[in-house]
Amino acid sequence: MYREESIQRYLDDLASARPIPGGGSASALSGAMSAALASMVCRLTLGKAGYEDVQSEIEHILEQTEQLRARFAGLLQEDIAAYGRLVAAYRIPRATGEERIERAATIQKQLLEAATVPLEVVECAAKLMHLCQRIAEIGNTNVLSDIVAATALAYASAGGATSMVRINLRSLKNAQLAGELEERLTTALQTVEQCRLEVAAIVGRRA
């Protein structure tokens, strides 16, 4: 839906009193913008004098940042759809015992989806941060500020999506599954934080 709409339409909807779109899709958008900036730095490194030795690697990194940009855009829409289904699940009638059982099962199913979509946002942000670190090491020094901005956006993407993951995991009754998802989240966040610090140090040396 929003992939074909203007950014103004999305922002207007985000600012509205409706619960959808919300923080999950906004986090995915932040990730998409981060990936786009990373791609820009790659493109401004390709073909530039002084960077001949890294052209092949930069081309490969560019392919990955573009794949992540597309995935973040997809996750933006998937998060909206997942949360919409969760809202609908809470509206299922519960007048009878059978309805209550159906409602509870549906809510649990949709809570899981509403947690796994933003979890993928965090994991994509971790992959992107890893790429940003390498771009900071070998990319065009004239646009290092843009890779810093890309890193900040990826960090925000991960942080925002994390809150969405955890609020849904809190209501998940399958403790083992919730624990597994929390472990994935923790691993991704560790990568995000480590790469954020590395990018700052690298840019400090090269700028």
pLDDT at position 4 over 80: no
Residues 188, 54: Cα–Cα separation, whole Å: 27
CATH architecture of 2-206: Up-down Bundle (1.20)
**Residue of 40, 16, 14, 43 lying closest to 29 (CA atoms):** 14
Quote the percentage of the chain above a pLDDT of 70.
Answer: 99
**Residue of 101, 88, 114, 109 lying closest to 168 (CA atoms):** 114
Instruction: Record the pTM.
Output: 0.95
Mean pLDDT of the chain: 95
Q: What is the pLDDT of residue 1?
A: 67
Summarised one tens digit per residue, pLDDT across range 123-151 is 999 999 999 999 999 999 999 999 999 99
